[in-house]
Amino acid sequence: MAEERVILVNENDEQIGTMPKLEAHEKAVLHRAFSVFIFNDDNELMLQQRAKHKYHSPLLWTNTCCSHQRVGETNIEAGKRRLMEEMGFVVDLKETISFIYKAPFDNGLTEHELDHVMVGHYNDEPIINNEEVEAWKWMPLETVKVDIELNPNQYTEWFKIIFDKFYEHINISK
């Protein structure tokens, strides 16, 4: 199977090429990505703990799912695809905001992404893919906020950035 490729973009989210995913993370090249946040009727956020064998951020808690768009795929199509692949369900998604971030990891890789944030609604239990997800849980947003402050090393870098800077955009109760 060919290595997954990411879409290289400029600061305006215009595609300028593609590159193998690992190479893009080794070279810290700006590429397109997305993060999905799923809420239930109680406005709790579905968090996932990344699988222990992931090449970066293993066993850290993060948003419901995230990944990279494929060439020709819309943000919504990509979000739905990955939600099914990681969490075993699909719901309607709504795009909220996008932003650029850069986060180096201890293993020498760097995430440099233009991240599109999407939200959706779901009340049932996911059917997690153990290749991608170690565990999952529902958490009230205020509890997440406090826990990130108390235990920042238990969360992914992108999740902390999104939660800190864009809380008002992901909080669907507002």
Interhelix angle 141-150/157-170, rounded to 10 degrees, is: 150
Contacts of 148 by beta carbon, 8 Å cutoff, 6+ apart? 155, 160, 163, 164
Active site residue 65: no
Options 66, 86, 111, 157, the catalytic residue? 66
Active site residue 113: yes
- Cα end-to-end distance, the chain, whole Å: 44
The Cα diameter of the chain in Å comes to 44
Query: Residues in the chain, how many?
Result: 174
With b meaning 16 or more CB within 10 Å and e meaning fewer, what string describes 104-142?
A: eeeeebbbbbbbbbbbbebeeebebeeebbbebebeebe
Options 65, 86, 111, 113, the catalytic residue? 113
Catalytic residues: 66, 113
